Every structure is written in C-alpha cells, then in structure tokens.
Amino acid sequence: MKKRLFGITSSAAAAASFCALTLGAGLMPAVAHADSYIDMLNAMGGNPAEFNAAAGEKLWNEKRGPNHVSLKQCDLGLGPGVLKGAYAQLPRYFPDTGKVQDVESRIVTCMEKLQGFTPEQIAKEVTKNPFDKKGGNATDIVNMAVYVAHQSDGMPMEVPQNTPQEKLSFENGKKFFWYRAGPYNFSCATCHSENGKQIKISKLPNLVSPDGEKAWVAATWPAYPDSQGVVRTLEWRMNDCMRQQRIAEPKYLSQVVIDLETYMGIMAKGHKILTPSFKR
C-alpha cells in the first residue's frame, strides 16, 4: 500500500518535472500532445486504479444478492470461474443469453443468474447510475469490470469472430462507426479516421483499420484518465464520445456500444493488453 502510494506521487512529480523540462528547454515537439507523459506514467506504474481492481476482487468473492453467493462461478466465456484471459476475448457470443456481451453486461448476467438479482434491482443498483462523477468513487460494476480486465493484463487482445452473431456484432459496430448523425452530422469516423489528428493535446486514434495510428486503444481500457480522476471503462468512453458526436446518450450496456467494442477489439487484435492504464 505504502509503496504504491509512493509510486503515484513520485510519478506525478516526475511527470510535472518532465513537462517543465520539455517546455522550458524548448524541446517541445512541433505539435504538443499528451502521449509522451502518459507513456511515461504507464512505464512507471503505480496506477491508482489498482485499488479499484482490489475493490472489484473483494466484491467478486463476496456473497451477495438474494441467493447469497459470490461470483466465483461466473462464466465469462472460458468456463465457470476462469478469469485469466477472459477479458482478452470480450465481447463474445454467449449461447445461454443468445447475445454478444461485453465484460459489464456479462457480469450483470452472472449477478442475475448466480446471485439472483432481479431486473428491478439491477436497474436500480447498476444501470441507473453506472458511472461515477469525476473524482468520485467508481461504482461496484466498474470495480468488478476493472478486476476482471486486470486478469488479462499483458495478454494479447483476441476478440473472437467465430459465430455469425460475433461477425454481425463487428459489422454493426463498423456500420455505426461510419454512421453520420446529430446536429453536426458527425460520425465516429469524423474524428477517428486519419493519422496525426488531434483535438487540443489529445491524439485521436485512427480506428479505420488495424494499421491506423493507435488503432489498438481498445487494449488499454479500463483506464484511469487523469482528467477524470476516477477509473473508466470502454463503455464510459463510448458514452463520452457520443456526447462529443452530439448524439443521444446510449443506455448502459446497449448493444450498439457492445458492437462498437467488438469492432474496436478487432482493430486491436494481437495487441498486448495494458490495463488499468493511464490516460489524459
């Protein structure tokens, strides 16, 4: 605990002095962007979201819900109780629900099936307010997602395309990626289809093909964006980008978000997972 805290403060201090150095000494790149200090924070480790993984682990093993059982037997795609590597293969098709599910929607399935949570309880406790405010404490569902994802840290991203449902999820995600909507007629592609594009100091991933600049970003979530001060999942990122797109906010766990995750998972195929990572 002590060591981790030291890691956080020292990496923040190092980031500050690094910025002062690069800016002060006139070494600033032609176009300033945030990636260099983020890369450095990631290399140093000590991510505050490791506490969220620990909180998620506690929740996972706790006997909860009307059935008073833990989630230890939850099947995330590799069999009941197998956590290692499961996140690397999500979203995937689950025959028992007949759906392609991501980590959060699958955890909800386990909460319903194993722990006996009713749809009403899920609506009240999970889907109503899934994301905490900036600088707040992450919600239980996010903590559990961070815990599950962390079990695939360092493994290659391998989102499956074995079933017609998984292929359709990819195709629908791709379709949505290019779909223009809203008052400005933006699509995801408006902001994410060229190398070298950035908004303020944020470099935007080019998500058109696996060769695009930073097309692998899906492998770096859940993440701790320091502008948020709280750990965030890819579901949150999609919400916030749809806000940037000026279109309606998607419902938590909606299929369109899961399909976008499938699409981006394929863009990140084979890329080594780094989670929780730092973000701007």
CB of 92 to ligand HEC, least distance (A): 19
Residue 263: closest CA among 221, 216, 223, 214 = 216
- Residues 231 and 223: their CA atoms lie apart, in Å, by 6
**Is 241 part of the annotated catalytic residue set?**
yes
For residue 66 the two structure tokens come to 């009307």
CB of 89 to ligand HEC, least distance (A): 19
Nearest residue (CB) to ligand HEC, 65 versus 91: 91
Nearest residue (CB) to ligand HEC, 157 versus 191: 191
Nearest residue (CB) to ligand HEC, 127 versus 244: 244
CB of 258 to ligand HEC, least distance (A): 12
Residue 129 Ramachandran class (φ > 0 left, ψ -120 to 50 alpha, else beta): beta
- Residues 98 and 101: their CA atoms lie apart, in Å, by 9
Token match 């059982």: residue? 69
For residue 212 the two structure tokens come to 């695009």
User: Do the Cβ atoms of 258 and 265 come closer than 8 Å?
Assistant: no
| Catalytic entry in 19, 74, 110, 241 | 241
Per-residue b/e over 104-119, b at no fewer than 16 CB within 10 Å? bbbbbbbbbebbebee
CB of 189 to ligand HEC, least distance (A): 8
* Torsion angles phi and psi, residue 262, rounded to 5: -60, -50
CB of 19 to ligand HEC, least distance (A): 16
Largest CA distance in the chain: 62
Binding site for ligand HEC (CB under 6 A): 177, 186, 188, 190-192, 199, 202, 204-205, 217, 220, 227, 237-238, 241-242, 244-245, 260, 264, 279-280
Nearest residue (CB) to ligand HEC, 140 versus 259: 259
Contacts of 251 (CB under 8 A, 6+ apart): 127
- Nearest-Å Rg of the Cα atoms of the chain is 19
CB of 30 to ligand HEC, least distance (A): 19
End-to-end alpha-carbon separation of the chain, Å?
A: 24
Nearest residue (CB) to ligand HEC, 71 versus 188: 188
- Residues 269 and 242: their CA atoms lie apart, in Å, by 24
Nearest residue (CB) to ligand HEC, 204 versus 258: 204
Residue nearest ligand HEC, CB atom distance: 188
Q: Among all residues, which ones are annotated catalytic? A: 241
